[in-house]
Structure 1
Amino acid sequence: TEEALKNKMPKDITSKYPLVFLQSGDNLGFAGGNNTGIRYALVKNDFEYIWLLNNDTVIRKDSLIKLVEFAEKNNTGISGSVLMYYDSPNTVQTYGGHINKFLGTSHRILKKEQIKDKLNYIVGASFLINRKVIEKIGLLPEVYFLYYEETDYCFNASKNGFSLGVALDSVVYHKEGQSTGASKKLKSEIDALSLTNRIKFHKKYLGGGIGLWLGMVLAFFIRIGKGQVDTIWKMMRINKTLNLNSKKP
């Protein structure tokens, strides 16, 4: 129960910052679940930032403090932490993400020197949103269910004049994939959903066309080479009316 969970927390924390647990009643996906909390915060109307944090992460005591300090100093619309592998805490998982604007492929940024030129989306595992962004562009897009929501939101924010940034002294340890419960049985379904969402994203922000075609052909050949043909069939099943020529998301 909520009361039992509160009793396990230090009293000075729960008295000053009460914990609120919201039940959506259904699995709404990454965006839908987070939007439930954001809507609650908007009703309370007592915040300047929203911090989205995956449930498969472990933070340092100052992870949020450093993140907010960075956002305040640099006036960023959306800020991210440095994500480290939980099982290998000295290894960087990513500083952020980069989308190839022709093919639509996504890549992790693994060198901090590349942040300035490469960063065009913040990874959703630790995702700090300035209130002004929410007031300007609204909630996270719920059309994806899982994957590409934060990418879409960052592109939308950038299009509306907000900057992105990574707080190098805000560190979060990520147990990658555990928020989805990604067993071997589910990996192909998740991969198929990710490819489907790439198509939606490309059509919305990158124009579709030949770049989308080439990117998907490349993705198919990579999976065929790995013996993951089932991923392709599952993607087609998810999106039976797939039309790469259409520019509609």
Structure 2
Amino acid sequence: MRIAAITITYNDDYKYKEWQEHFLEYENEIFLHVIVDNNSEQGYKEKLQEGFSRSHIIYRTSNGGCTGAYNDGIRYALSIPDVDAIMLIGNDIRLKVGASTIMHRRLFSDAKLGMIAPILLTKDSMIVEDFGCSISKALIMIPYCVGKVHSNINENIHYCEALTGGMNLSKREFYENVGLQDDNLFMYSDEVDMGLRAKKSGYTLAAISDAVSWHQHINKDTNTNRRDPYTKYLAGRNKVYVAKKHYGLLRVIYVFLFYVFGSLYKILINLIKGNFYQIKEYFWLIFGAVMGLLGNMKPNRFSVPSEDVELQK
């Protein structure tokens, strides 16, 4: 078993301690640990070197989002012939001891399986958050068995269309044949894109219930506890982009109108409620959908985190 585990990070000091604790639970089951830093501040980079001295750390000179950073790690893993499997694992994921070994064994027991994932539970609970996903007509990931208690899941394996982007294990050959993640996406919809590409390449995806993980949802303390508006821009842009990439004109129009009219409805509701901050978010989503329709995937001030905008000034 030769697993290369890849984790991406960007100024994640607020969850650094928990990340270290989670890493120790699966460290002995992996062959190589790769960290890809998305151009964090120097002080945080030094902290990474100190706390993960046995890991291979790749320092990017710009923020590549999820896709660009994961691809750097995947390329490095593929450059090492002994690596037979690649695990993407977020730094707010806790993986139960032994889960990596279970996933690896199950993955290589089926020639058609290209990617596998553990069942994902809600923070510090036994409630299912994700057990593999289907993909809706609007290209939304719909998690299976969400809200159920883990002990009530009778299925040991669930074959599905998409898996969580920050917690999965793939055979080496999967990336060699299907390709890396799409850098144009930056983040969001990468799981949908990869699921559709895997199917076209003849691979199946699955989640298993006897390998357990938890999504710890370690977030920054904020007044609104909401994500930046740029995330809505990317969501709208990437859904339409993926529709254009994989489907014909009718599906593209459907996906575009779904997000535009859905956003207009949300704007109206939030206007009535006086939630003006959220109105901005849905205008950005509409703008993103338009850019996706036009095929404009270039970075701009709407598509990057606010701190990156400050760095670019």
Q: Deviations over 1:17-69 (max 9, x none)?
A: 65222212322111111111111112222111100001111111112111112
1:22-37 superposed matches below 5 A: 22-37=58-73
Whether 1:176 aligns to 2:252 is no
Q: CA RMSD in A?
A: 3.4
- Equivalent in 125, 141, 148 of residue 182 of structure 2: 141
**Partner of 1:233 in structure 2?**
283
**Partner of 1:186 in structure 2?**
227
1:131-170 superposed matches below 5 A: 131-170=172-211
Contact conserved, 1:66 with 1:167, CA < 8 A, in 2?
Answer: no
- Distance in 2 separating the partners of 1:81 and 1:13: 18
TM-score by length of 1: 0.80
Distance 1:91 1:9, change over 3 A: closer
- Distance in 2 separating the partners of 1:65 and 1:218: 46
Whether 1:99 aligns to 2:149 is no
Secondary structure at the counterpart of residue 281 of structure 2: helix
Q: Deviations over 1:106-138 (max 9, x none)?
A: 322226679857x21011121111111111122
- Distance in 2 separating the partners of 1:90 and 1:125: 19
**Partner of 2:291 in structure 1?**
242
Task: Report deviation, 1:86.
Answer: 1.4
- Distance in 2 separating the partners of 1:134 and 1:122: 15
- Distance in 1 separating the partners of 2:193 and 2:223: 23
Q: Which amino acid aligns with 1:156?
A: R
Task: Report deviation, 1:177.
Answer: 6.9
**Partner of 1:79 in structure 2?**
116
Q: Which amino acid aligns with 1:108?
A: P
**Partner of 2:86 in structure 1?**
50
- Distance in 2 separating the partners of 1:85 and 1:185: 19
Contact conserved, 2:64 with 2:186, CA < 8 A, in 1?
Answer: yes
Q: Which amino acid aligns with 2:61?
A: G
Task: Report deviation, 1:74.
Answer: 2.8
Distance 1:204 1:248, change over 3 A: farther
- Equivalent in 137, 141, 144 of residue 109 of structure 1: 144
- Distance in 2 separating the partners of 1:140 and 1:161: 17
Task: Report deviation, 1:85.
Answer: 1.1
Which structure is richer in relative contact order (CA contacts within 8 A, separation 6 or more)?
A: 1
Structure with bigger strand share is 2
Contact conserved, 1:51 with 1:126, CA < 8 A, in 2?
Answer: yes
Contact conserved, 2:123 with 2:214, CA < 8 A, in 1?
Answer: yes
Q: Deviations over 1:224-244 (max 9, x none)?
A: 3355321222234556x5374
Task: Report deviation, 1:195.
Answer: 2.0
Task: Report deviation, 1:209.
Answer: 3.7
Secondary structure at the counterpart of residue 103 of structure 1: coil
Distance 1:183 1:159, change over 3 A: farther
Task: Report deviation, 1:9.
Answer: 6.9
Contact conserved, 1:104 with 1:215, CA < 8 A, in 2?
Answer: no
- Distance in 2 separating the partners of 1:13 and 1:236: 46
Q: Which ranges of 4 or more aligned residues in structure 1 deviate by more than 4 Å? A: 111-117, 236-239, 246-249
Gaps of 5+ in 1: none
Q: Deviations over 1:155-174 (max 9, x none)?
A: 11111101111121111111
Contact conserved, 1:188 with 1:231, CA < 8 A, in 2?
Answer: yes
Query: How many aligned positions are there?
Result: 235
